[in-house]
């Protein structure tokens, strides 16, 4: 059995690419924030806070800052009274949409009893339809 480090070195890699991805999006609530930005078009702190059960203001603040540091979101201050802050996904953040679709498809197929009331496997395309899917992930 070849150790992982040797295998990675053979391909000119310093680290496992899955490990790097998990360091970026694997923290609690990060995927939820991205999901809400993509699906619900949320962009304000209180929208995230009110739509995610169990997240504290401190955790949300830390996650958004980490996502900004990782280049997933851009924070914009709206210079109106009162001041408002909005977040939007960068190109890098939007590149996670197909990954998230695959993650959802995985659960919808292999964990359908936990996902659907009828407990029958399905896909995102079958569930939402192509037109709806295009609007959702637009």
Per-run averaged pLDDT (10 residues), the chain, 138 residues:
88 93 96 95 97 97 98 95 94 95 94 96 87 64
All residues at 6 or more sequence positions from 70 whose CB lies less than 8 Å from its CB, including other chains: 24, 92
Average pLDDT, the chain: 93
How confident is the model at residue 33, as a pLDDT? Answer: 98
How confident is the model at residue 131, as a pLDDT? Answer: 73
pLDDT tens digits for 91-126? Answer: 999 999 999 999 999 999 999 999 999 999 999 888
Question: Phi and psi of 81, rounded to 5°?
Answer: -100, 125
Cα 51 to Cα 36, 42, 47, 55, distances in angstroms: 8, 10, 6, 9
How confident is the model at residue 112, as a pLDDT? Answer: 96
All residues at 6 or more sequence positions from 100 whose CB lies less than 8 Å from its CB, including other chains: 31, 34, 35, 38
Give dist(CA 116, CA 99) in Å, integer: 21
Give dist(CA 46, CA 60) in Å, integer: 10
How confident is the model at residue 129, as a pLDDT? Answer: 82
How confident is the model at residue 132, as a pLDDT? Answer: 67
């Amino acid at each position: 059995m070849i150790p992982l480090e040797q295998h990675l070195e053979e391909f000119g890699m310093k680290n496992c690419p899955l490990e790097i991805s998990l360091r970026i999006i694997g923290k609690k609530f990060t995927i939820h924030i991205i999901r809400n930005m993509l699906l619900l078009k949320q962009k304000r702190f209180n929208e995230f806070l009110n739509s995610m059960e169990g997240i504290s203001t401190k955790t949300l603040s830390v996650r958004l800052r980490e996502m900004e540091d990782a280049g997933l979101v851009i924070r914009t201050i709206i210079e109106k009274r009162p001041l408002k802050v909005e977040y939007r996904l960068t190109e890098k953040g939007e590149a996670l949409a197909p990954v998230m679709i695959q993650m959802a498809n995985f659960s919808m197929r292999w964990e359908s009893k936990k996902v659907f009331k009828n407990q029958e496997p399905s896909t995102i395309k079958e569930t939402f339809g192509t037109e709806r899917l295009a609007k959702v992930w637009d």
